[in-house]
């Protein structure tokens, strides 16, 4: 009898929304559970604690958070995640991997929302790893992260991420205008998670469905799932070129 595949990743879209709650959705928060090791997050928008709890996922079990860029709907949940872990008595370190400036912006966000919280003694370490476009790092629990330069002003270089974990490759655009770096990050990946903010309206600094549909030939990921959709795009999901995410969607890779 064949032994079961020891690899694999369970992907849960805890939050699949844009910054503004379109469709009643939570902000970006994608939970990745590789077989046999601790889960990690791709982005942690401000609404991520309720998003995770609604899916029955334990925020305290998350080993690392990979942040695509430093906008509130992608990293604004970190102060809540860290404070919740502090009150819950967490002892395992939490890795936060994001663009240059992540450490400073996280401390500023914590001080702004909960004064004194960035300097308090905790029983667990928050280990910040800053990723550079063109670079790669083994960050936590055997997760390898490669970063590519996105086109999305956010006070720091925004990243497109390519994670290797559980024997699978997952690429994530974060927010970005079309750039050929998306094709590089997604090359041969098991899953591409792509922003599709608008259907075809020209909005700066974001991906549209039209951008992805016209470049399908360049995108060689085995599977593509669209996320971060505005009300305009949500209304046209049935016509989309790819699968679309919703809060609570679970994929097995």
Q: Minimum CB separation from Zn ion for residue 28, in Å? A: 6
Please report, as residue ranges, which positions from 25 to 84 form the binding site for Zn ion (by CB under 5 A).
Answer: 71, 73
Evaluated on CA atoms 137, 185, 242, 244, the torsion sign reads positive
The tokens for 156 are 């720091």
The alpha-helical segments, DSSP class H, found in the chain are 48-54, 72-75, 78-87, 102-113, 181-186, 209-213, 231-234
Among the listed ranges 12-20, 58-66, 115-123, 134-142, the one in contact with Zn ion (CB under 5 A) is 12-20
> What is the C-alpha separation between 127 and 114, in angstroms, rounded?
20
CB of 36 or CB of 72, closer to Zn ion: 72
- Answer yes or no whether residue 206 interacts with Zn ion by CB under 5 A: no
Integer distance in angstroms from the first to the last C-alpha of the chain? Answer: 22
- Answer yes or no whether residue 105 interacts with Zn ion by CB under 5 A: no
E-only strand ranges, the chain: 9-15, 29-34, 40-42, 64-66, 94-99, 126-131, 136-140, 143-149, 159-165, 168-172, 191-195, 224-227, 243-244, 249-252
Among the listed ranges 78-86, 142-150, 172-180, 242-250, the one in contact with Zn ion (CB under 5 A) is 172-180
Count of chain residues binding Zn ion (CB under 5 A): 4
Q: Minimum CB separation from Zn ion for residue 174, in Å? A: 7
CB of 156 or CB of 253, closer to Zn ion: 156
Beta-carbon contacts of 117 under 8 Å, excluding residues fewer than 6 positions away, are 79, 82, 83, 110, 111
- Answer yes or no whether residue 175 interacts with Zn ion by CB under 5 A: yes
Among the listed ranges 117-125, 136-144, 168-176, 178-186, the one in contact with Zn ion (CB under 5 A) is 168-176
Q: Minimum CB separation from Zn ion for residue 50, in Å? A: 18
DSSP string across 75-88: HTTHHHHHHHHHHT
CB of 20 or CB of 214, closer to Zn ion: 20
Among the listed ranges 49-57, 58-66, 112-120, 170-178, the one in contact with Zn ion (CB under 5 A) is 170-178
Q: Minimum CB separation from Zn ion for residue 11, in Å? A: 19
Q: Minimum CB separation from Zn ion for residue 176, in Å? A: 9
Please report, as residue ranges, which positions from 136 to 155 form the binding site for Zn ion (by CB under 5 A).
Answer: none
The tokens for 1 are 């009898």
Interface residue list for Zn ion (CB under 5 A) = 19, 71, 73, 175
């Amino acid at each position: 009898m064949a032994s079961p595949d020891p690899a694999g990743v369970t992907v849960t879209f805890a939050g699949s929304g844009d910054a503004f709650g379109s469709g009643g959705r939570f902000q970006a928060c994608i939970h990745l559970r590789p077989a046999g090791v601790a889960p990690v997050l791709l982005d942690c928008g401000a609404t991520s604690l309720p998003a995770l709890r609604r899916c029955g996922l334990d925020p305290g079990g998350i080993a690392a958070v990979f942040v695509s860029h430093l906008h509130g709907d992608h990293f604004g949940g970190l102060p809540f995640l860290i404070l919740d872990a502090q009150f819950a008595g967490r002892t395992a370190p939490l890795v936060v991997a994001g663009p240059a400036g992540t450490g400073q912006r996280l401390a500023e966000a914590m001080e702004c929302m909960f004064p004194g919280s960035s300097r308090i003694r905790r029983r667990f370490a928050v280990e910040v790893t800053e990723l550079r476009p063109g670079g790669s790092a083994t960050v936590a629990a055997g997760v390898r992260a490669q970063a590519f330069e996105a086109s999305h002003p956010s006070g720091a270089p925004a990243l497109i991420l390519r994670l290797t974990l559980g024997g699978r490759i997952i690429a994530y655009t974060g927010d970005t205008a079309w750039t050929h770096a998306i094709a590089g990050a997604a090359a041969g990946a098991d899953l591409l998670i792509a922003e599709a903010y608008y259907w075809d309206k020209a909005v700066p600094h974001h991906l549209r469905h039209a951008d992805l549909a016209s470049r399908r030939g360049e995108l060689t990921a085995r599977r593509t799932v669209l996320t971060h959709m505005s009300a305009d795009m949500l209304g046209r999901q049935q016509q989309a070129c790819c699968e679309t995410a919703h809060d609570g969607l679970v994929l097995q890779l």
